[in-house]
Amino acid sequence: MKNIANDRVHLTRDHTLELLNQMTRIRRFEEKCVELYTQEKIRGFLHLYIGEEATAVGVISALAEDEAIVATYREHGHALARGLPMEEVMAEMYGKVTGCSRGRGGSMHIFSARHRFLGGNAIVAGGLPLAVGLALADKMQGIERVTCCFFGEGAAAEGDFHEALNLAALWHLPVLFVCENNLYAMGTALSRSQSNPSISARATVYGIGSEAIDGMSVVDVEAAARRAVHAVRRGEGPRFIEAKTYRFRAHSMFDPDLYREKAEIEAWKKRDPVVLFANWAVSAAILHPDDRQEIEAKVAQEIDAAVAFAEAAEWEPVEDLTRDVITPAAELAR
């Protein structure tokens, strides 16, 4: 069980290593997925989390193991930070039966009941009402724990966003809403679609305590998450975090990424959350330069093992393809 006693971040050597290790695992996993996608080992849609690692790692570090997470279709990083085995996530990317969703979810529907990772969701804003429902169930049963919901800034334009925040505030539910504001809803810049670019300001309209933070700093993210989670656990109702971040890659592998200036992307890459945190930790004498090399080596081994596991895994048997499929009564009567 993680240290969840208070809302303070203790940057011990071990905790610093853990944060850097998790962000590195996500970064290298995503890069490997790009390689496998070009080889047609991974098919369908693929939305990469490269550049946004600090948000998932920082927030999830503040959560307890039994506190649910609802994510978006850009959820590989959240799944790994949550503790899903990399080999199961990779097998799911391949569509193999040993994947965490038995190969039926693929990239956009990572799910693990035993980790209370309750799904990537392909519908924009679709996870918000699910999170509200989970929090309501906990409250009705007298279970004191937080439900955390990740979503992008594009979700703030959807009706589900407003309905979910309204009900969470109205019913005083234990929900932590985390908006990963990467400035672009697919190919539409936030400044072109929203009259007020402040997403966190919308939460205040519903009486929800909110905070806008630097989503490229894992320390800032974790500190804000601990403050928010601690408040929710104290029974102060829902909280809202807007993490200002940036995806270094296109919206998806099918996206030619023609809506952004290259100079803008390069400027954001100078704030790479993995590099900045590693350099800071070394300069602060918390970590040694060799530590990063050791992390990279271990992560490389983990990725190789995950790929080997996925390659060797079986496809779902043809006779199981109708498993869990509900057939209408009219069809059965034929």
Q: Is the pLDDT of residue 150 over 50?
A: yes
Mind listing the pLDDT tens digit for each residue in 94-126?
999 999 999 999 999 999 999 999 989 999 999
Quickly state the pLDDT bin for 84 (edges 50, 70, 90).
very high
- Residue 226 near residue 62 (C-beta atoms within 8 A): yes
- Please name the residue that has the structure tokens 């199961």: 88
Selection from 102, 110, 107, 100 nearest residue 42 by Cα: 107
- The b-or-e profile of 193-212 (16+ CB within 10 A means b, else e) is ebeeeebbebbeebebbbeb
Q: Say how many CA atoms lie within 13 Å of 237 toward its Cβ.
A: 16
Residues in contact with 67: Cβ distance below 8 Å, sequence separation at least 6, in sequence order: 116, 145, 146, 147, 148
Cα–Cα distances in Å, from 314 out to 44, 304, 318?
A: 19, 18, 11
Average pLDDT value for residue range 188-195: 89
Phi–psi pair at 305, nearest 5 degrees: -65, -40
Residues in contact with 24: Cβ distance below 8 Å, sequence separation at least 6, in sequence order: 274, 292, 295, 296, 299
- The b-or-e profile of 67-86 (16+ CB within 10 A means b, else e) is bbbbbbbbbbbbbbbbebbb
Q: Which of 161-165, 194-198, 304-308 has the lowest mean pLDDT?
A: 194-198
**Reduced 3-state DSSP string for 143-178:** CCCCEEEEEEHHHHHCHHHHHHHHHHHHCCCCEEEE
Q: How far apart are CA 193 and CA 300, in angstroms?
A: 40
Average pLDDT, the chain: 94
Residue with the bigger pLDDT between 132 and 321: it is 132
Average pLDDT value for residue range 54-81: 97
pTM of the model: 0.93
Amino acid at the residue 302: E
Phi-psi region of 152 (alpha: psi -120 to 50; beta: other; left: phi over 0): beta
DSSP H/E element including 188: strand 188-189
Q: Is the pLDDT of residue 5 over 70?
A: no
Residue 330 pLDDT: 56
Strand partners, 178: 150, 241
Quickly state the pLDDT bin for 80 (edges 50, 70, 90).
very high
Q: Is the pLDDT of residue 91 over 50?
A: yes
Q: Where are the domains of the chain?
A: 13-332
Q: Is the pLDDT of residue 7 over 80?
A: no
Residue 143 pLDDT: 95
CATH of domain 13-332: 3.40.50.970
Cα–Cα distances in Å, from 307 out to 42, 227, 291, 310?
A: 11, 38, 24, 5
% the chain with pLDDT above 70:
96
Average pLDDT value for residue range 282-311: 97
